[in-house]
Every structure is written in C-alpha cells, then in structure tokens.
Amino acid sequence: MTQLNIALALMGGVAVCIALLSALIKRSPLSEPALAVLVGVAVGPYGLSWLDLARWGDTFTILEQAARLTLAIGLMGVALRLQPAALKAMLKPIMLLLTFVMLGMWLVSSLLAGWLLGLSLWAALLLGAVVTPTDPVVASSIVTGKFAKKHLPLRLRDTLSAESGANDGLAYAFVMLPMLMLSHTPDQAWSRWLIESVLIGIGGAALLGAVVGFAAAKLLVLSERKKLVASSSLLGYTVAFSLLTLGLAKLLQTDGVLAVFAAGLAFNLFSERHEEQDEENIQEAVAKLFTLPMFVIFGIALPLREWATLGWPLVALAVLILLLRRPPAVMLLSASWRKSLNSRDSLYLGWFGPLGIAAIYYSALAHNQLDDPLYWHAASALIFASIMVHGVSAAPLSRLYAGHPGAPPPGSARLHDESD
C-alpha cells in the first residue's frame, strides 16, 4: 500500500505542477513528457528508490497494459481533435505517410538494428517494427495548445496528428509478422499473420471502431433530442466509449489501438458536436490524468544498467534512428504532396516523428510474447532518446518555422486562412 500511495501522490503532484506551469513549459527546452520521464528516473530504482515496478507485479505486464490503456484514451483525444475539412485536404500526404513512409521507417530501423546490435533478420525486423509508429501522445505535446496554434498551421498540426493516430494501430501488423516468425514455423507464421493479424486484427479493428463510433455519435444525438442527457460535456462520454471499444476489441481478438482511433474518427465525422471547448477539455484531461503518469512509469522502468552493458552500439543506434529513420523517407516523398504541404512543412514533418507510448506498448508486448529482454532494453533507449531530443527541439524549431513558414500550398490555402 505504501508504493501505491507514493505513486498516487507523486503522479498527481506531477500532473498538478505541469498543469500550473503548462504555458511556461511550452516555451521551455523540455516538453511535458520529457519532464515526466525525468521525474520517473529520479524516483525509480536508479534514483531515490521510492518506486519500483517489480514490487507492483510483473514489470512488463504493467507496462503493456498501462500503455494500452493510455494509448486508448490518447488516441480518442487525437481523433476528436482532427478537423474533417483538414483530413479531406491533407488526405494524400496522410496516406503516403501511412504507407511508403511507414514502410521506409520500418526497413531503415530494422537495417540499423541488425547492423549495430548484430540481430538476426527477424529479430531486427521486430525491433524495427517496435520503433516504427509515430507516437500520438508525444506528438500531441508538440501540436496542441496555444503555442502550437500560434506557430504551426492547421495543415501541419492535423497531418501529424492523423498520421500518429493511425500508424499506431497499423504497426500491429508490422510487429506481429516477425514475432510470429520467431515463434512458429514459416508456414504457420504466414497463415496466422494473414488471418489473425491482418484480416481480423487490422480489418476487424477498423470495422469494429467504425461501427462503435458511428453508433456512439447517433445515440448521443438521439439522447439529446429526447432530452435524456444531463450534461453537455463530451469528456465522460468519449472516455467511456473508448474504453468500451478497447475491451470489445480485446474480446474479439482485434487490434484495440486501431479500433479506438477508428471509433474516435467515426464519432468525429458523424457527430453533430464540434465545440472547440469540448475538444480542449478532452485534451487537458488526457494529458493530466493518463499520459503523464505513463511517462513517469516509463522513467521508473528504464533499464539503465542494461543500456551500459550494450554500450556504444546502442548509442550509435539511437543517434542514427533519430537522423535516418524518418527524415529521408519524408523528404523523398515531399515532391508528391506539394499541393498540400510546402517544403518547410515537409522538413518539420520529417523531423518530428517521435517515439513514445506506442513503442513502449509494442516492446513490452514483444518481451511478454518471446521472453527476450533485448527488445525492451534497446527500444527503451531509443524511446528515451526520442522523447528528450524531440522535446528539446520542439519549441525552438516551431519558432523557427513560424519565422519562415513559406507560402501556403494551393490545396491547403483555405485551411491556412481558417486557422489564423
């Protein structure tokens, strides 16, 4: 009980302090997730030893389930924040990011992991898949709030949000293929991957999410018309149906992460409620109640001793992942979306593809399924490096972008005007 009470007090205190200093933090060198991670390191086994996940139960089960829940709540907030007009205007770059760029990030990350860590083909592909998805929670700390609205146009904010929301779920197929190859014969692995991961996991999740989101939107409209709704706030309603979707997806053996995002997107598109204040309230609640404690937990669980054992190859991998995982693929495709995003947009989008809770979830899942700690040891270092480097660079690069934004592309000029 002492550990529980310390955790509650600490995480509540972190959320309160960050809420009180949120405007200052947005302008500071460190992001909210980075601060929360550092707090976790300070109170964990390598710091003050106030908290230790091993005393709560199985560390990787805690990480997997906590990350899964945090992703569900975070993805719902991202989906509700997206503007339908922006999604329509930015559809081409979003689709390219979710296909060719995502595939490129997977292959480059896998190649680097195999080279520097000496992994086998499928082990390297698994670690590469774990660090492929752009994290919606860390990305939200970059593209939400008054600071982001002042410095970044709507086209850029919603493109990064939509990509980070969707590719978390799509990464499930990337992760499951090498995981199955490492634990089954090739014939069994391919058949299980196509049926269980792609058809049921991805296809079933998209269908389930669309049905739940559509039903939730229409039921809310009906309840309001019948005057059955006592409160006008969407916060409790959307959190509840995100948890409903997450639970149903698990029971039906589909990908809960993708199902929740699909549900939120369907609700957003079919709902008659689009008040900005509701969206802001949802984002604030998500940041304070769910995402920050998850980053504290991540900081507590960091395997610093194992990082030291892996040595310079892990350091080199972290540096090269930051430089080569995403920017080259984005810049290679930037010419294909010139009508939607200009060259400065592409530069910003290429750099900010942060790792975060999605990678925590998939690395814990890989450890639990294969009982190999290497995936967590390596992935946690890459996640930590991304949170710190992207967090430190977010404010200055956003200011730099705002100083030289370039002309709005013709396909998104109207969005630019509406967001001013």
The string of pLDDT tens digits covering residues 24-83 is: 776 667 788 889 999 999 998 998 888 888 888 889 999 999 999 988 888 888 888 888
Q: Give me the helices (H) in 334-373, please.
A: 343-351, 357-370
Q: Which two tokens stand for residue 140?
A: 């939200």
CA distances from 24 to 16, 398, 402 (A): 14, 15, 19
Q: Is 107 inside a domain boundary?
A: yes
Q: Is 15 inside a domain boundary?
A: no
Print the domain residue range for 350.
39-50+59-140+150-419
- CB-count burial class (<10 Å; 0-12, 13-18, 19+) for 362: buried
**Banded model confidence at residue 417, pLDDT cuts 50, 70, 90:** very low
The enclosing domain of 67 has a CATH number of 1.20.1530.20
Over range 154-181, report the average pLDDT.
92
- Beta-carbon contacts of 373 under 8 Å, excluding residues fewer than 6 positions away, are 303, 306, 367
> Count of alpha carbons within 13 Å of 122, Cβ hemisphere only?
14
In the predicted structure, residue 143 carries a pLDDT above the cut 90:
no
Q: Is 8 inside a domain boundary?
A: no
Q: Is 414 inside a domain boundary?
A: yes
The share of the chain scoring above pLDDT 90, in percent, equals 54
Q: Which two tokens stand for residue 347?
A: 């530069």
Contact 219, 165 (CB under 8 A): no
Q: Is 7 inside a domain boundary?
A: no
325 vs 416, more confident: 325
Task: Report the greatest alpha carbon distance in the chain.
Answer: 64
Q: Is 303 inside a domain boundary?
A: yes
The share of the chain scoring above pLDDT 70, in percent, equals 91
SS3 percent helix, strand, coil of the chain, rounded to 5, is 80, 0, 20
Tally of domains within the chain: 1
Q: Is 105 inside a domain boundary?
A: yes
Contact 30, 44 (CB under 8 A): no
**pLDDT digit string (tens) for 265-319?**
999 888 866 555 455 555 555 656 778 889 999 999 999 999 999 999 999 999 9
The pLDDT of residue 418: 44
Contact 318, 70 (CB under 8 A): no
Q: Residue 245 and residue 253: Cα distance in Å, rounded?
A: 12
Q: Is 384 inside a domain boundary?
A: yes
